[in-house]
Chain A
Amino acid sequence: MFAYLVRRLFLMLVTLFGISVVIFFLLRIVPGNIVDILFAAAGYVDPADKANLEKELGIDRPLVVQYWHWISGFLRGDFGYSYVSEKPALQEILPRIPITARLAGLALLFSASIGIPLGVISAVKQGTRLDYALRVVSLSGLSLPSFWLGLLILTASVAMFNQMPIFNPNPATWLEAFATYAVPAAAVGFRSAALTMRITRSSMLEVLRQDYIRTARAKGASDAAVNYKHALKNAILPVITVIGIEAAFLIGGLIVTETVFNIPGVARFLVEAIRWRDYPIVQNLVMLIAVVVVSANFIVDMLYAVFDPRIRYTD
């Protein structure tokens, strides 16, 4: 187990190094840089001014030098300065992370708390009107893009209540804080809930056909005990795996949701930074996300080994 741990840690570092190289060079392959965009905003291009600015920002230097400058700074915790705001990149990134983390957490909670129970009900009531209705709901969840759903929610709330859930950076009460995140989390979590529901349903249906379920029923166990104690417990593993994968995919949905609900989170900020070719922001932010995802994968793998007695890692 110890050797496995060391090997995984080493692979993790190699992965992160690979990611850093890919991010850095992919960003440079994209046509146009911050200087082009600044001049586009100014409506003219002056070659001398452009060259001066490229020199000032250090993007005229050889790519390898630029890469080393960035990665050595990243390892020291020096994230450089945003090209656009001219403020320290870390100062720009850090306050936005908790906003997106809260939104993502609430969306996952929404996904699990809606998706799992409805998936179980749908499986247990297979072939009934309720099952068909729930399947329509889950299908719509997978079909509706989150930006459309978000706009639908906003339009409906304005049309029906003349209210607009605009992000409140300083909520006075717990209720206000919840209101700030709940609606956008529901919009982004709906797709995830629909997927969770479908996976739960199919996983449950498979388990419900197993012999040990029949045995439990034969022994006189109640429906609730069979469905929730025996079946769900065994059907939940693929569901958890899917929720884990969804967590990684959530960033895509969050970009759109943060834009539609105008939430100043890290996902929208990343897209804006890409639009401006704000290399220090994009590189560092993607690296931070990569560190989180790779570390989470590592921890999950370790937890699998700890909690599932059937899984044993050996050298």
Chain B
Amino acid sequence: MRSVWALAAIAALSVLTASTTTLAGEPKQGGILRMYHRDSPGNASIHEGATYSLNVPFMPVFNNLVIYKQDEAQNRMDNIIPELAESWAWVNDNKTLAFKLRQGVKWHDGKPFTAADVKCTFDMLMGKAPQKFRQNPRKSWYEQVNDISTNGDLEVSFNLKRPQPSLLALLASGYTPVYPCHVSPGDMRTHPIGTGPFKFVEFKANESIKLTRNPDYWRKGRPYLDGIEFTIIPNRSTAILAFVAGKFDMAFPTEVSIPLLKDVKSQAPNAVCVVEPNNVATNIIVNSSAPPFDNIDIRRAMALSLDRKAFISIMFEGQGDVGGTMLPPPNGLWGMPKEMLETIPGYGPDINANRDEARKLMQKAGYGPDKHLAVKVSTRNIPVYRDPAVILIDQLKSIYIDGELDVVETANWFPKIARKDYMLGLNLTGNAVDDPDQSFYENYSCGSERNYTNYCNKEIEKLFDVQSQETDVAKRRKMVWDIDKKLQEDVARPIIFHARTGSCWQPYVKGVTVMSNSSYNGYRYEDVWMDK
């Protein structure tokens, strides 16, 4: 307990240090920001990836039409600011989102940026362009977009099938850069061309990624840094030691785990570290198309057996959040309030009572002290997956379920899930944008490729659409809470916890803001500078 308080004090002090030091002094120009990178991304094309191993190093190369303010930790609709768009407006009964574009913006190869580039990018994302992405993981984001129309070089409109206010939030994600028409998707994978504050120099797989300052950046005086160099160090111990020894100015964002944070602070007391939720939910995927989990009683019993606080206590020394599908408040904008959450079966504070109820359900299904249910708990062979899976197996014992860990290599994970060759799976779901449209449609809508459990409830599907069109945020929030509650009661994809992770940098690095409700949207780095 003492260690939890000590860690909380360190984190609070770090946040205080971060905010005060960021405010101190005038920004200085120059310097190469040296950062380690946790893993070699497959390629450099943000639109084809779904991991922040990719968008952390390449987001500085690009601009979006709009972006979440990079110096505010919480992504909100009211802190979306223009980038390649100068302004926007909802017209045509909120069925058209019209943008006026910035004049005089150039791609890194000197060619002019125009509205045609915006059309090209989104046509490709919607699968309507002659050129195709090899992979297109966020195609579902644009399902309500009928087409994109341009008016000259500086006006572009998104014409929707029905109003979807959250489209602007999706366009502000780090995953939504504008690509140039004149560069092929293949070239964007190996040598990306953007309009952003930094130009791509080199990507050596498993070795390094180098970016240099874009001297012609449209935002005058930015960026402050001369460049950014990422050294790829997959071994986390080596990377942290190198950061502690001062070889790097920054640790890879959100990659310092809570237990490791204490080591960093003890070995490098001057380092500035912040702990934030990363909007990655650890959850259980259930194969409800085959016995035994086709029985709703067994699914509910499993949900009732969960002691979520125990997971957070063991894995994160108490630093984590209990919630439903949406990230809980205060960092999350759409998560249910605690009182409402605790009315959902399995979320109540009395774990013993929950488990008594779970055992009754198991007995109803024919299991008991003398007849245990044997299940395999499949998960990826990565500690953040494996560790909670082990705790889950331990907790399931309390309701007559004997779990066996089935560790699956990453290459086989999605094919295995897709062919329904599993009983229970321990899964991690990262939400790119803290918005229900992203989470609900991607993970719970019928037929979505990322709906791994094939959960399909037509009634809830209708509610997805109703909330999606609602422009009154307060009203929409209440709808979202009700939907989230239903998803948990249906045991669609039981959420165990929402993780928090640490980000650290040296005290002379200024202007860094770690997003508090997303892991994917805060890496433009044009306001970052070094006081040395």
Contacts and interface: CB of A to CB of B under 8 A. Distances in A.
Contact of B414 (A44, A260, A261, A277): A44
Nearest to A44: B449
A31 B414 CA distance: 12
A138 B51 CA distance: 45
Nearest to A56: B134
Q: Contact size class for A?
A: 35 or more
Contacts of A85: 43, 190, 203, 205
B162 interface: no
Interface centre among A45, A268, A276 (most CB of B within 10 A): A45
Interface in A69-101: 82, 84-87, 92
B411 interface: yes
Given A45-B414, A84-B205, A264-B207, A155 B189 contact: no
Given A45-B418, A53-B134, A159 B267 contact: yes
Nearest to A162: B245
B413 A40 contact: yes
Contact of A262 (B48, B54, B231, B246): B231
A244 B138 CA distance: 53
B204 A264 contact: yes
A22 to B, nearest CB: 21
Contacts of B414: 36, 39-40, 43-45
Contacts of B48: 42
A259 B42 contact: no
Contacts of B40: 272
A310 B296 CA distance: 80
B410 A40 contact: yes
Interface string B404-425: 0000011111110010000000
A157 B51 CA distance: 33
Contacts of A166: 231, 242, 247
B267 A158 contact: yes
B75 to A, nearest CB: 20
B190 A87 contact: yes
Interface in B15-66: 40-43, 48-51, 54
Interface string A27-60: 0000111001111111111100100110010000
Nearest to A163: B245
Contacts of B237: 151, 154, 260
Contacts of A158: 241, 244-245, 267
A195 B370 CA distance: 55
A45 B190 contact: no
Interface residues of B, number: 47
Contacts of A110: none
B137 interface: yes
B233 interface: yes
Contact of B411 (A86, A264, A277): A277
A269 interface: yes
B450 interface: yes
Nearest to B234: A259
A164 interface: yes
Contacts of A46: 135-136, 449
B287 to A, nearest CB: 16
A217 to B, nearest CB: 52
B328 to A, nearest CB: 23
Given A36-B415, A268-B206, A45 B238 contact: no
Contacts of A38: 42, 134-135
A69 to B, nearest CB: 21
Nearest to A95: B204
Contacts of B205: 82, 84-85, 92, 272
Nearest to B134: A53
Interface string A132-160: 00000000000000000001001101110
Nearest to A31: B412
A61 B527 CA distance: 50
B235 interface: yes
Interface of A: 31-33, 36-46, 49, 52-53, 56, 82, 84-87, 92, 151, 154-155, 157-159, 162-164, 166, 259-262, 264, 268-269, 272, 276-277
Interface of B: 40-43, 48-51, 54, 132, 134-137, 186, 189-190, 203-207, 231-235, 237-239, 241-242, 244-247, 267, 409-415, 418, 449-450
25 contacts: A31-B409, A31-B411, A32-B415, A36-B412, A37-B42, A40-B414, A41-B42, A41-B49, A41-B50, A43-B51, A53-B134, A85-B203, A85-B205, A86-B186, A86-B189, A86-B190, A158-B244, A159-B267, A164-B242, A164-B245, A166-B242, A259-B234, A261-B238, A272-B40, A277-B411
